[in-house]
Structure 1
Amino acid sequence: MTELSLQAAQQVLGSQPFSALLGARLTAFGGGAATLEIGVREELRQQNGFLHGGVLAYAADNALTFAAGTTLGPAVLTGGFSIQYIRPATGRTLSARAVVVHTGRRQAVARCDLYTVDEEGTETLCAVAQGTVLSARTA
């Protein structure tokens, strides 16, 4: 399979209205890995001032799926994922970094570490996720 380019993957992300609403951007893509970033802004926070857990779950879901797309091909769907929140997400940027840990003929398993990055560039792990991504050609 020929891998998609980062630019082609960014176009796919850009075609998703919800991703555009959140301001998500794909900053790395290829070789069984993908990184998705979101700038933290007031509208994405919950009542205590932390980044909403739903934003973290979205970032994990999309990062897992994009990473798996580098090994399964561009037609993929999330089969399911779980996320564990480690600490409240604060900072200026959320970075979801996913890597494929296994690829079969029809599905891939990937792991995603979610970090927040503060004004000084310090990264703090705030959640981890793992998921299964299915090839849409066989779904």
Structure 2
Amino acid sequence: MDKNELFNIGQKALGAQSFSSLLGTKLTVFQPGEAVLEIPVRKDLLQQNGFVHGGVLSYAADNALTFAGGSVLGPNVLTSEYKINYLKPAVGQKLVARGNVVYASKRQAVCRCDVFDTKDGEREILCATAQGTIVTMSSEKPEAGH
């Protein structure tokens, strides 16, 4: 599969996520072992102190980890677990989440992600880092309510 075909698969997967659409998430890189997501920061994504809500940072890391893992495992993947460290409050205009594969087998990938904050095209500031395990799943869909 060439890079354009893989990128199109990633775009389709992101487009199928209504929560990602709600946040305005864009997939900017999707190639074997790597995924980059960008989220424009809006006022409604801030917490009471004016920082980007930790849940938005967590979403960015989780999704970038899963996309990175899916780039080598295929489209039927889920996050099995992840850990995030919040390093600095995000106050810029855009979040950039860079996920990459550290190790992959046939059924799982260990991935890491750094989440950066940027403002007016200035340098990126690291605000969170995460590591997680992405696993392949059955193509069967669970029953409603389970």
| Matched residue SS, 1:47 | coil
Deviations along 1:47-82, one digit per CA (max 9) or x if unpaired, are 000000000000101100000011111110110100
Deviations along 1:73-110, one digit per CA (max 9) or x if unpaired, are 11101101000000001111000000000001210000
Quote the Cα distance in structure 1 between the aligned partners of 2:19 and 2:139.
Answer: 26
Gaps of 5+ in 1: none
Which residue in 2 is equivalent to 1:118? Answer: 119
Q: % of aligned pairs identical?
A: 52
Quote the Cα distance in structure 1 between the aligned partners of 2:130 and 2:90.
Answer: 15
TM-score by length of 1: 0.94
Quote the Cα distance in structure 1 between the aligned partners of 2:106 and 2:19.
Answer: 29
Moved over 4 A (4+): none
Aligned residue pairs, count: 138
Counterpart code for 1:19: S
Quote the Cα distance in structure 2 between the aligned partners of 1:120 and 1:44.
Answer: 20
Question: Contact conserved, 1:106 with 1:138, CA < 8 A, in 2?
Answer: no
Summarize the alignment of residues 23-102 of structure 1 with structure 2, pairs less than 5 Å apart. 23-102=24-103
Deviation at 1:137, TM superposition (A): 3.4
Counterpart code for 2:97: A
TM-score by length of 2: 0.90
